[in-house]
Structure 1
């Protein structure tokens, strides 16, 4: 596996824009809270480290990953000054097809919200085979996808501002 020994959250190869002046929403799923809490801390700390002030970050929770789409839609509808929304969740494969339906619905839903509002809506949802993979990607040996989602939000907000 290509990621076996690699920290995927290494951004030394790229330029990360400053977040000064940008406003972001973060929507976090409560389901798999230990994982999503780590993703949230990573995203929040990364935004702050790149100049986004506390009063320019609006965080809300939703019950599960399926509800991330409505959470992002509500944020962008009620807070149109946001420059982007970071959506954080974790769906772990089980014995049924539930995993496939949830992952597909969330990916499509978040894409549609971003297109509707012409704003970055970032897919920071872990879709793993097991708990260990989720832990490895939420602050473990493969980095923190919350960090990656925040960097993506910064880059996309900068792109939108530059056009």
Structure 2
């Protein structure tokens, strides 16, 4: 959980599963691209720091947050990836649209984790303001993308252990 006293990017790569040989896909929403690009970079950086080869980290862009689950489903079906990171950013507006989008993406990622053997990591910021998003995408709270990269490595490692 992001708090003023916790930096999301504070991880020791030596204590994480090695990414060497792992294939990780990042589904990145183009909506609020300032934030989603920063989240992707955070995920990519930690994966590379843990030994991933550049060609083993795939970026798939989608128009918005709701479209993330479709692309992630297709990637799961391909069985080519050890983990998938769903990256998006939804900022509260004046209508209920925020609630519907957040619920749809959250439910969709949960369903993918139940339906497929490939872990899908939730990295969708759902903030009240752009300032809150910036604080969690490389700002004062670190980078939630980094945390998602760590989760992807841990879950891909767990998948290998559990078979």
TM range (shorter): over 0.9
Distance (Å, rounded) in 1 between the aligned partners of 2:5 and 2:110: 31
The Cα of 1:9 is off from its aligned counterpart by 2.7
Gaps of 5+ in 2: none
Report the 3-state secondary structure (helix = DSSP H, G, I; strand = E; otherwise coil) of the residue aligned with 2:95: coil
Distance (Å, rounded) in 1 between the aligned partners of 2:100 and 2:9: 27
- Match of residue 64 from structure 1: 64
Give the length in aligned residue pairs: 160
Distance (Å, rounded) in 1 between the aligned partners of 2:122 and 2:114: 13
The correspondence of residues 1-163 of structure 1 with structure 2, limited to 5 A, is 3-12=3-12, 15-77=15-77, 79-163=78-162
Q: Given the two structures, how large is their TM-score scaled by the length of structure 2?
A: 0.93
Q: Deviations over 1:32-70 (max 9, x none)?
A: 000101001111111111111112122110001111100
Gaps of 5+ in 1: none
RMSD of the alignment, in Å? 1.4
Distance (Å, rounded) in 2 between the aligned partners of 1:58 and 1:4: 32
Structure 1: 4+ residue segments shifted above 3 A: none
Distance (Å, rounded) in 2 between the aligned partners of 1:35 and 1:130: 12
Distance (Å, rounded) in 1 between the aligned partners of 2:4 and 2:44: 26
Q: Given the two structures, how large is their TM-score scaled by the length of structure 1?
A: 0.93
Distance (Å, rounded) in 1 between the aligned partners of 2:100 and 2:84: 22
Distance (Å, rounded) in 1 between the aligned partners of 2:9 and 2:99: 25
The Cα of 1:151 is off from its aligned counterpart by 0.3
